[in-house]
Amino acid sequence: MKTRELQRIWWDWLSTAERLNRSLAEQQAALTLRDAERIEEIQPELETMLTRLNEIDQNAVTTMKLLAEQWDTKPTLRSIVGVLPVAEARQVEALANRLAMVGANLQERITRNRMLIENELSYVGGSLCLIAKAAQEQEGDFAAAQAGPILVNQVA
């Protein structure tokens, strides 16, 4: 099999992408539940897996270029598949299609989580704006400091 190394790299990418997808699902649940502690725990894991996917991508590109040079063709999937035996070409195309599908799903989940984060930040920003506005009003509950009795715990 001429493309064994490329396929091994792609399988590695798929397994890393699956782990990333599970972590993104955890992040989505934590965002929905507003569990800031869990979000902070997940973030380094997400960054590590995204970095790993980028490294794997670079390895795949390098391997594709080497295969293209070896077979004197362009470093594109279509060109490389064109010089492969039919059975191996189908296998490589199927794996490439699977990569594209998983990549699109990952991108969709990342976009969805980003939107959740942006919505949460907008909510917090709006709340802070309302609090600041109420604190600056000349009349109302927060207009001036009021001296008054302080509730004391009876046990004290």
pLDDT at 143: 58
pLDDT in tens, 125-141: 888 887 877 777 766 66
Q: Global pTM?
A: 0.79
pLDDT at 128: 81
- Give alpha helix (H) positions in the chain: 4-33, 36-70, 77-82, 86-136
Reply yes or no on whether the pLDDT at 152 is more than 60.
no
pLDDT in tens, 74-87: 989 999 999 999 99
DSSP tag of 148: -
Mean of pLDDT values over 43-47: 96
Reply yes or no on whether the pLDDT at 142 is more than 70.
no
Q: Given phi > 0 = left and psi -120 to 50 = alpha, else beta, which region is 140?
A: left
pLDDT at 129: 80
Range in 89-93, 109-113, 120-124 with the lowest mean pLDDT = 120-124
What residue segments make up the domains of the chain, in order of their start?
4-136
Residue 113 in tokens: 């989580």
Could you tell me the pLDDT band of residue 25, with boundaries at 50, 70 and 90? very high
Reply yes or no on whether the pLDDT at 57 is more than 60.
yes
Range in 41-45, 108-112, 136-140 with the lowest mean pLDDT = 136-140
Q: Chain-wide mean pLDDT for the chain? A: 88
Could you tell me the pLDDT band of residue 56, with boundaries at 50, 70 and 90? very high
Contact 50, 20 (CB under 8 A): yes
